[in-house]
């Protein structure tokens, strides 16, 4: 089970990186901005994985697997916020680099979808802070739903030609 889940993550990363290289880059400047965003993507993916780890702990039947996952959760949650902060810093860098090249700005679909993804990211961060301040059913759902909505926006942004 855990192996399959790691495989899905690895395939997702291969797909994103593969697509990016398939698209090519006009300059080293753009290439660096893309690589920075790919690192951020991997970090966001690690955080999104929290949902599946917690789900398996709640719904799983095998006690030994659950104990193992609880240990993984402890480590992942220790780094959850530092990972989010690092990814956000990288993505701001990515956005600034891209916007400085695409001076036509909002006329470019790639830029528009990026800006939209960024706005959703701000709401996701807000939901994370709420979740940290006080845990409730609503706050939990708000946070993980925002995480998946954000993921959807990133995918649109990445595969938008």
| Residue 90, number of CB atoms within 10 A of its CB | 19
* Residue 80 binds ligand HEM, judged by CB under 6 A: yes
Options 9, 12, 13, 48; binder of ligand HEM; rule CB under 6 A: 48
* Residue 41 binds ligand HEM, judged by CB under 6 A: yes
Q: How far is the CB of 7 from ligand HEM (least distance, A)?
A: 19
Options 2, 129, 134, 152; binder of ligand HEM; rule CB under 6 A: 129
Restricting to residues 87-126, which ones interact with ligand HEM according to CB under 6 A?
A: 87, 91, 94-95, 98-99, 102, 110-111, 114-115, 117-118, 121, 124-125
Options 9, 12, 30, 86; binder of ligand HEM; rule CB under 6 A: 30
Q: What is the 3-state secondary structure (H, E, C) of the chain?
A: CHHHHHHHHHHHHHHHHHHHHHHCCCCHHHHHHHHHHHHHHHHHHHHHHHHHHHHHHHHCCCHHHHHHHHHHHHHHHHHHHHHHHHHHHHHHHHHHHHHHHCCCHHHCHHHHHHHHHHHHHHHHHHHHHHHHHCCCHHHHHHHHHHHHHHHHHHHHHHHCC
Q: How far is CA 39 from CA 46, 61, 74, 156, in A?
A: 11, 34, 23, 18
For ligand HEM, the closer of residues 71 and 132 by Cβ is: 132
The contact set with ligand HEM (CB under 6 A) reads 16, 20, 23, 25, 30, 34, 37-38, 40-41, 44, 47-48, 50-51, 54, 77, 80-81, 84, 87, 91, 94-95, 98-99, 102, 110-111, 114-115, 117-118, 121, 124-125, 128-129, 131-132, 140, 143-144, 147, 154, 157-158
């Amino acid at each position: 089970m855990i192996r399959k889940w790691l495989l899905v993550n690895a395939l997702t990363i291969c797909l994103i990186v593969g697509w990016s290289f398939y698209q090519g880059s006009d300059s080293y400047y753009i290439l660096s901005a893309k690589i920075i965003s790919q690192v951020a993507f991997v970090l966001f993916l690690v955080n999104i994985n929290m949902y599946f780890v917690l789900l398996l702990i709640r719904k799983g039947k095998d006690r030994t697997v659950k104990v193992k996952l609880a240990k993984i959760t402890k480590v992942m949650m220790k780094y959850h916020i530092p990972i989010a902060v690092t990814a956000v810093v990288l993505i701001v860098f990515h956005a600034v680099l891209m916007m400085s090249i695409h001076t036509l700005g909002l006329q470019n679909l790639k830029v528009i979808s990026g800006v939209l993804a960024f706005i959703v990211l701000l709401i996701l961060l807000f939901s994370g802070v709420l979740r940290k301040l006080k845990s409730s059913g609503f706050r939990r759902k708000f946070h993980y739903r925002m995480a998946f909505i954000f993921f959807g926006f990133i995918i649109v942004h990445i595969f938008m030609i």
